[in-house]
Copies of this chain bind each other. A is one copy, B any other.
Amino acid sequence: MTNFTKANNVQIAYIGGGSKGWAWGLMSDLAQDREISGTVRLYDINSESAKQNELIGNRLKEREDVIAKWDYKAVDTLSEALDGADFVIISILPGTFDQMDSDVHFPEKYGIYQSVGDTVGPGGMVRAFRTIPLFVEMAEAIKTYSPNAWVINYTNPMSLCTRTLYKVFPEIKAIGCCHEVFGTQKILAAMVEELLGVQNVKRQEIDVNVLGINHFTWIDRASYKGVDLLPLYQEFVEKYHETGFEGSEEGHWMNDHFSSAERVKFDLYKKFGLIAAAGDRHLAEFMPLNWYLANPDRVHSWKFGLTPVAWRKENAKKLVEKSKRLVSGEEQFEINPTGEEGVEMIKALIGLKTFISNVNLPNQGQMSGVPNDVIVETNAVFSHNGVQPIVSGELPPEVNKMVAAHIFTQETTLEAALEKNKEKAFRAFSQDMLVQSLNQEQAKQLFDQMLINTKDYLPGWDL
């Protein structure tokens, strides 16, 4: 049968295939799967990295503890990667670490601290200007070389990357995937364990209704085996609002640039009565500056971390070393399930299972209160050749207001990037929630300077 045949010859194009994070994770997940195998074509503008990953990946075939023997193949062009692909995974770093440094840290001169800087905020904005043209190019290539492939994007800013793909090629079968909701499910699982005295609660057992936009999603209904979790969460928030809760993630928030004590999340519950379903580092950036990000002390008191790009650079260096060791065989590749659902999604799309997960898709009716076609994040059913969003209702107006505001700014951002229109770009920039703390002159200065810092990636702009 078609699918069984196909399942032994799955063709995956990996754009950003030189990655030392997501790509290694995929290798690990694929290696352990019992149902599918095939080829992963690695494409990266850093072709050296792609070649290293080809070597690393192909080494796995030789190991006894590896179930599925996948072929890895570094390719030189986008068209080679895409032609004939069943799936396209996009996970790229748009621009350089220096540009990311400007995104995240340059605004600190103006009192704007960003915990991530890749989604909203001045950093997210500028990253979007830089990223959208890359996605225009990818969408056009997919339209030409693999119009029937399923495209799974992991790149941020998620909403705008996915929106760009659909804008350029409306018939594309693309989804945007992010694990932030999973993190919130884990917190709820830990809460169930603690407050209900149950053991080993899995995040998949936490049923949630998700609605919002990526990194700013909300849960208005949650249950564990028929127990309504909203009242329980109320209790949980009362208990941990002040101290924070550190049980669900491994590292302590102070030592971990990605961790937090969930105090922002709890505070948002107190303010709005819903569960904010993303990490605190992301959530804080969607809120007025003076709430959580006014200064490092404020951040510290809310018990989440600012992720310095210096750390990312340092980490990247370590990974380069590690990559060399993996290539040479000096170090063995460690196989570990990532907890990501990419491989499960691929299997569902092939027709091997049906499952429900949250995903970023154009609004076609799944979320009320915001326009059609903009990218929203809700649950969807994954099955053979289909990802169908689930009708998820509407946020209360006070929350919908915040979500819609970011959506409209994204629309302006998209228009500006497609038109390479600096004036419109500033309109978007100056309406960002964090930027709005500045007066207009400061905002303009910051904008001008940040664009100059990333100008290599803004071809055609009149800077």
CB pair B385 A228 closer than 8 Å: yes
* Docked complex Cα distance between A428 and B399 (Å): 10
Select the stretch in A23-31, A48-56, A277-285, A362-370 that faces chain B. Answer: A362-370
Give which listed residue, B6, B390, B397, B431, contacts A411 with CB less than 8 A.
B397
Among B272, B397, B412, point to the contact of A409 (Cβ < 8 A): B397
Give chain B nearest CB distance to A399 CB in angstroms: 9
Query: 8 Å CB contacts to B: which residues of A403-458?
Result: 404-405, 408-409, 411-412, 415, 424, 427-428, 430-431, 436, 439-440
A180 lies within 8 A of chain B by Cβ? no
Interfacial chain B residues near A223, Cβ < 8 Å = 351, 383-385
Complex: chain B residue closest to A298, CB-CB: B439
> Is A225 engaged at the interface, CB distance under 8 Å to the other chain?
yes
In Å, the complex CA distance between A410 and B364 comes to 24
- A424 CA to B384 CA in the complex, in Å? 27
Instruction: Indicate if the CB atoms of B1 and A225 lie closer than 8 Å.
Output: yes
The digit string for A103-129, where 1 denotes a CB below 8 A from any CB of B, is: 000000000000000000000000000
Residue among A6, A290, A366, A390 facing the most chain B CB atoms (10 A cut-off): A390
A243 within 8 Å of B (CB atoms): no
In contact, B381 and A272 (Cβ under 8 angstroms): no
Pair A228/B2 contact, Cβ less than 8 Å? yes
Q: How far is the CA of A228 from the CA of B1 in the complex (A)?
A: 10
B412 pairs with A207, CB closer than 8 A:
no
Are B386 and A221 in touch, CB under 8 angstroms?
A: yes
User: In the complex, are the beta carbons of A390 and B392 less than 8 A apart?
Assistant: no
A209 to B384, CA, bound (A): 11
**Which residue of chain B has the shortest Cβ distance to A198 in the bound complex?**
B1
User: Which single residue of chain B is at the shortest CB-CB distance from A196?
Assistant: B1
A389 contacts the other chain (Cβ, under 8 Å)? yes
**What CA separation (Å) do A425 and B186 show in the bound complex?**
32
Q: Is the CB of A368 within 8 A of B369?
A: no
Report whether A391 and B408 are in contact in the complex, using a CB–CB cutoff of 8 Å.
no
| Of B354, B385, B389, the contact of A391 (CB 8 Å cutoff) | B389
Question: Which residues does chain B contribute within 8 Å of A335, judged by CB atoms?
Answer: none
Are B226 and A436 neighbours in the complex by a CB distance under 8 Å? Answer: no
CB contact list, A1-33 vs B, under 8 A: 1-4, 6-7
- Show 29 A/B contacts (Cβ-Cβ < 8 Å), sorted by A: A1-B196, A1-B225, A3-B225, A3-B226, A6-B226, A7-B226, A209-B386, A221-B385, A221-B386, A223-B384, A225-B352, A225-B384, A271-B427, A271-B440, A288-B436, A354-B356, A365-B366, A365-B391, A369-B371, A379-B388, A388-B392, A390-B391, A397-B415, A398-B424, A398-B431, A400-B408, A401-B412, A404-B408, A405-B405
- 10 tightest Cβ-Cβ pairs between the two chains A and B: A226-B351, A3-B226, A365-B365, A401-B408, A397-B411, A223-B384, A398-B427, A397-B408, A398-B412, A397-B412
